């Protein structure tokens, strides 16, 4: 069952990655910098931070295995593109665009780490208790 969940998540992640790449090209972002890859990786980092914190804090171990198989291993594993990031950085170096290569590496790593931390923080904050009764203020 986990293999099917990984495959289903992977298919959706690949389609999402392709959509981000096409949108980035269509908007003209890819002329000088690999924005589509950066966006996919930053989004993947944000989502994995959120998923990790949610799974750790809110799910039983059986539920965690299913969510991890589908979403973390399947969807996010397919969405994020470290190999593409490495290839694009290498191409920037090889074409003599040293500062763009260094910028791509530094910005991708910094944004990735910030997004993981941000995603974890978003999910780790306690939710507002909608069932709590409001005590009227003393007059």
Residue 129 pLDDT greater than 70, yes or no: no
Residue with the bigger pLDDT between 79 and 126: it is 79
Q: Is 132 exposed, middle or buried (0-12, 13-18, 19+ CB in 10 A)?
A: exposed
Grade residue 128 by pLDDT with cuts at 50, 70 and 90: low
Q: Are 77 and 44 in contact (CB under 8 A)?
A: no
Give the rounded percent of residues in the chain with a pLDDT score beyond 90.
Answer: 56
Q: How confident is the model over 19-52, as pLDDT tens digits?
A: 999 999 999 988 888 899 999 999 999 998 898 8
The full set of domain ranges for the chain reads 2-124
Grade residue 107 by pLDDT with cuts at 50, 70 and 90: very high
Grade residue 12 by pLDDT with cuts at 50, 70 and 90: very high
Q: Are 87 and 36 in contact (CB under 8 A)?
A: no
Model pLDDT, residue 32: 85
Q: Are 81 and 20 in contact (CB under 8 A)?
A: no
Q: How many residues does the chain have?
A: 139
Model pLDDT, residue 135: 46
Single pTM value for the model: 0.73
Model pLDDT, residue 139: 40
What's the start-to-end Cα distance of the chain, in Å?
61
């Amino acid at each position: 069952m986990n293999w099917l969940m990984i495959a289903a998540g992977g298919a959706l992640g690949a389609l999402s990655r392709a959509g981000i790449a096409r949108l980035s090209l269509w908007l003209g972002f890819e002329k000088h910098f690999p924005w589509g890859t950066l966006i996919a990786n930053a989004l993947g980092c944000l989502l994995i931070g959120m998923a990790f914190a949610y799974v750790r804090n809110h799910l039983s171990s059986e539920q965690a295995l299913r969510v991890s198989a589908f979403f973390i291993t399947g969807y996010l594993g397919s969405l994020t593109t470290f190999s593409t990031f490495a290839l694009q950085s290498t191409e920037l170096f090889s074409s003599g665009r040293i500062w763009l290569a260094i910028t791509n590496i530094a910005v991708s790593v910094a944004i990735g780490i910030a997004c993981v931390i941000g995603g974890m923080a978003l999910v780790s904050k306690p939710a507002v208790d909608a069932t709590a009764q409001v005590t009227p203020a003393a007059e």
